[in-house]
Amino acid sequence: MQTMTSKQRIDAVLSHQSVDRTPFCLVDGGAWIAKTENLSYRQLYGMEDGGASKIVKWTDEIDTDIVSAVSGVFTACLNAFGCPIHIDEPGRPTDTGSCLTDPEEQIPLLDKSTIRETLLANEFVQGMLRQCRGVKALAGDRKYLLGDVAGPFTMAAVMVGTQDFIMLMIDDPDLVEQLLDFTTCVSAEMFTLLHEAGCDIAMPAEPVASGSLISQNMFEEWVVPALSNLKARLSDYRYFFTHVCGASGPRVKALRDAGVMAFSGDYLVDLDTALTDADGRLVMMGNINPAGTLLTGTPDEIYQEACERIRTAAGRGHILAPGCDMGAATPLENVKMLSKACKDMAK
């Protein structure tokens, strides 16, 4: 088969057509890039191009087929609504705190009519948009831009605090419904702003929807409708992905039926079973162990694990990627083995 460009490769795999080789991308990579450059997120996003040159430099170095448009800050836009964020230590994931101390009183007062203005008034959101525009200018002709922003369910959990939010689902579901309505609008508006800045792929990240945190019934009752509503608001996007952490293999069928085009699954998801459940309608993205083999293994071990994933997928709609965001201290040579496996397995 003739060699494809990165965009052609992604178009083909998402159309469930043959590809010249398995595509490769990162789920995010922001913490790793910031640590490699010895920059905090505040410094990275405070650069003239929002850190775009650093993002493109390293994703080109490891030869990804997709480039993240807003690396490392998937919950940081909630700072615009009062959530504190920690962004000053190189390589540390964004630490976003809660802002709703009295949900019963505060949730009914949330104002959907000012979401766009509130986001645009936030300095860090402006940095995210500056980075996206910079990445588009540097790499948009070669690669699709992926934006990973928290999905509605995870945004709601962050605003309240995860443990309190899960209890609220049991004690006051009507209040949760109001909050999810608000956070769906926030997530949609943030993705809309990123699309206006050049982003092609929306990937709402839902770590709080993990099979390690909530039941399948809860997932189908709360998360799937919120993601479906979000997708309906993002019709201008070329592609709609989602990421769910943990043991989330049972999520595949529900996400497939909701119209998700690619599911970024963790290493705890059995790839063969997931691809069977995808039934040729959903691409699986993953699922190299990011905190195990990729972080602490040898290059040969990573190479072998990546080749095993490609053999398991056997052309059934698969994008090779870490199962979640990479650890900041992941060795460069280990990451390079992922791209090498994709190329070698095509020979």
What is the pLDDT averaged over residues 81-98? 86
Q: Binning pLDDT at 50, 70 and 90, where does residue 212 land?
A: confident
pLDDT higher than 90, residue 310: yes
> Residue 1's pLDDT is what?
80
Q: Binning pLDDT at 50, 70 and 90, where does residue 347 land?
A: confident
Task: Answer for the pair 274, 313: CB distance below 8 angstroms, yes or no.
Answer: no
Number of structural domains (the chain) is: 1
What is the pLDDT averaged over residues 183-188? 98
> Residue 259's pLDDT is what?
95
The whole-model pTM stands at 0.96
The CA distance from 63 to 56, in Å, is 10
- Span 16-56, pLDDT tens digits: 999 999 999 999 999 999 999 999 998 999 999 999 999 99
Counting beta carbons within 10 angstroms of the beta carbon of residue 287, is it exposed (0 to 12), middle (13 to 18) or buried (19 or more)? buried
Closest by CA position to 69, among listed 146, 159, 177, 5: 146
The CA distance from 7 to 143, in Å, is 6
In the chain, pLDDT over 90 holds for what percent of residues? 92
pLDDT higher than 90, residue 214: yes
Give strand ranges (E) for the chain: 66-68, 85-86, 95-96, 144-147, 201-202, 239-244, 262-265, 283-288, 318-322
- For 148-183, b/e burial (b = at least 16 CB within 10 A) is bbbbbbbbbbbbbbeeebbebbeeeeebbebbbbbb
Q: Binning pLDDT at 50, 70 and 90, where does residue 289 land?
A: very high
Task: Tell me the pLDDT of the chain averaged across its residues.
Answer: 95
Q: Binning pLDDT at 50, 70 and 90, where does residue 204 land?
A: very high
The CA distance from 224 to 257, in Å, is 9
Half-sphere exposure in the Cβ direction for 288 (13 Å, CA): 36
Task: Answer for the pair 157, 208: CB distance below 8 angstroms, yes or no.
Answer: yes
> Residue 143's pLDDT is what?
98
> Residue 73's pLDDT is what?
87
Structural domain boundaries enclosing 44:
6-344
> Residue 309's pLDDT is what?
97
The Cα angle at residue 324 between residues 320 and 328, in degrees rounded to 5: 110
Lowest pLDDT segment from 40-44, 140-144, 196-200, 281-285: 40-44
Task: Answer for the pair 150, 75: CB distance below 8 angstroms, yes or no.
Answer: yes
> Residue 118's pLDDT is what?
98
Cis before 287 (ω within 30): yes
> Residue 94's pLDDT is what?
76
| Residue 205: strand, helix, or coil | strand
Contacts of 235 (CB under 8 A, 6+ apart): none
pLDDT higher than 90, residue 10: yes
| Residue 240: strand, helix, or coil | strand
Counting beta carbons within 10 angstroms of the beta carbon of residue 123, is it exposed (0 to 12), middle (13 to 18) or buried (19 or more)? exposed
Residue 142 sits in a domain whose CATH number is 3.20.20.210
Give strand ranges (E) for 144-207: 144-147, 201-202
Integer CA distances (angstroms), 41 to 59, 64, 90, 132, 194, in order: 17, 22, 7, 14, 18
| Domain contains 182 | yes
> Residue 92's pLDDT is what?
75
Closest by CA position to 10, among listed 321, 290, 251: 321
Q: Using N-to-C axis directions, what is the helix angle for 173-196 and 224-233, rounded to 10°?
A: 30
Q: How many Cβ atoms sit within 10 Å of the Cβ of residue 84? A: 11
What is the pLDDT averaged over residues 331-345? 96
The CA distance from 310 to 332, in Å, is 21
More reliable by pLDDT, 343 or 94 = 343
Task: Answer for the pair 13, 260: CB distance below 8 angstroms, yes or no.
Answer: no
φ, ψ of residue 144 to 5 degrees: the values are: -75, 145
- Span 141-182, pLDDT tens digits: 999 999 999 999 999 999 999 999 999 999 999 999 999 999
Helices and strands (DSSP H and E) totals, the chain: 17, 9
| Domain contains 1 | no
Q: Binning pLDDT at 50, 70 and 90, where does residue 295 land?
A: very high
